[in-house]
């Protein structure tokens, strides 16, 4: 068997074994979303100096013609809700001496294989037009979830909110070809303090009734430092059972192995 085939097979098997052996105290949560494009923008990154903006027409043209304002997009992300909080902000509200937490950041660091001491699993998927992107920690990707419980922040003056950021496919090494490389997802409640009551990853109400102000942005990059951002409101948001999360992680692992096999 070819060495690359062996590595790809071992990679997929190791990932699947790690995903299947998650702690009993945690659950794999899959969140599906969909919407349509409302904005297309772009910029060229420089080694020195600020990015150079490009027009919306130029950014749209760089995507090859399959994405326009109104084009539907969809995707999902999967996370282990037993992730350890890596940072947070504490504020004393109400009863002196009893701090309540207003912010927490959960990091899913990149490592060869997710597992003890490396970081819990996270996977993400996005598709729009002729583009598909899949990413997961352990295969070059990284991810994080910011949780803001504004019920205890600024006396509940702002709604609670969530911010998910995840790497997808790697950008092309060079040339004009462009790939879907990054996903950002933002969800906000509508009234002061709602809908969260704490910053835990457990029992987040992933639905549009709880988070009516929800949007997603998909980022593309080519080998010449051009980055294109495509964004729009989310009109479909639903969590899936934990079993669907494991299936999605397994699918991402197999796609990663297939990409390894397709490399020259």
Domain range list for the chain: 27-243
pLDDT band at 203 (very low <50, low <70, confident <90, very high): confident
Q: Which two tokens stand for residue 113?
A: 């294989």
Cα(177)–Cα(79) distance, integer angstroms: 30
Say what the pLDDT of residue 182 is: 93
Cα-based distances in Å from 194 to 104, 118, 176, 186, 236: 16, 33, 44, 15, 20
115 or 69: which leads in pLDDT: 69
- DSSP string covering 35-56: EE--EEEEEE--SSSSPEEE-H
Q: What is the pLDDT of residue 80?
A: 85
The count of other CB atoms within 10 Å of the CB of residue 41 is: 17
pTM as predicted: 0.78
Residue-wise pLDDT for 21-74, tens only, equals: 444 446 888 999 999 999 999 999 888 889 899 999 999 999 999 999 999 999
Helix, strand, coil percentages for the chain (3-state, nearest 5) = 20, 40, 40
Query: Chain-centre distance of CA 191, in angstroms?
Result: 25
Distance linking the first and last C-alpha atoms of the chain:
16
Report the pLDDT value the prediction gives residue 63, as an integer from 0 to 100: 95
- CB-CB neighbours of 168 under 10 Å: 25
Rg (C-alpha) for the chain, rounded Å, is 19
């Amino acid at each position: 068997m070819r060495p690359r085939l062996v590595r790809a097979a071992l990679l997929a098997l190791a990932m699947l074994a790690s995903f299947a052996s998650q702690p009993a105290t945690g659950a794999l949560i899959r969140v599906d979303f969909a919407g349509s494009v409302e904005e297309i923008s772009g910029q060229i990154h420089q080694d020195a100096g600020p990015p150079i903006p490009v027009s919306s027409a130029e950014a749209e043209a760089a995507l090859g013609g399959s994405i326009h304002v109104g084009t539907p997009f969809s995707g999902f992300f999967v996370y282990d809700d037993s992730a350890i909080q890596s940072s947070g902000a504490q504020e004393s509200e109400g009863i002196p001496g009893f701090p309540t937490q207003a912010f927490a950041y959960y990091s899913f660091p990149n490592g060869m294989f997710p597992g003890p001491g490396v970081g819990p699993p996270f996977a993400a998927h996005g598709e729009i037009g002729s583009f598909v992107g899949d990413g997961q920690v352990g295969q070059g990707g990284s991810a994080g979830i910011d949780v803001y419980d504004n019920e205890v922040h600024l006396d509940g003056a702002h709604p609670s909110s969530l911010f998910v950021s995840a790497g997808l496919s790697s950008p092309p090494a060079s040339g004009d070809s462009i790939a879907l490389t990054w996903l950002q997802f933002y969800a906000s409640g509508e009234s002061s303090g709602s809908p969260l009551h704490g910053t835990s990853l457990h029992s987040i109400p992933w639905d549009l009734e709880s988070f009516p102000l929800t949007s997603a942005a998909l980022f593309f990059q080519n080998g010449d430092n051009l980055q294109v951002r495509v964004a729009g409101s989310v009109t479909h948001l639903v969590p899936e059972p934990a079993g669907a999360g494991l299936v999605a992680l397994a699918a991402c692992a197999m796609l990663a192995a297939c990409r390894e096999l397709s490399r020259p």
